[in-house]
Amino acid sequence: MKVFLRNPETGQYYAGRKGWSGNSSLAQDFKTVESATDLAQTQKLAGVSVVLHYDEPPCELVLPLEQER
């Protein structure tokens, strides 16, 4: 399983210092949901989703993050 952050409006994945990429192979793999949500909160990445990507069977689970008020 890989854990990504994705902007649902643009479809781009968070790629760390490189910014954002439309290619998931260039995306930062956070390994855990907690580390992805921590970075999203720390960097104030509003409107992003956590994406759990599985190779076997191939599927994705998308978890929208609520924006802090």
58: how many CB neighbours lie within 10 A of its CB? 7
Question: What pLDDT digit, counting tens, does each position of 40-56 carry?
Answer: 999 999 999 999 999 99
Hey, what are 16's tokens? 């760390």
Query: Are the CB atoms for 36 and 27 separated by under 8 Å?
Result: no
Looking at residue 68, what is its pLDDT?
61
Looking at residue 66, what is its pLDDT?
82
Residues of the chain with pLDDT under 70: 67-69
Looking at residue 69, what is its pLDDT?
54
DSSP 65: P
Looking at residue 47, what is its pLDDT?
93
H/E stretch holding 37: helix 33-42
Q: Map out the domains of the chain as residue ranges.
A: 2-64
Tokens 């490189």 found at: 18
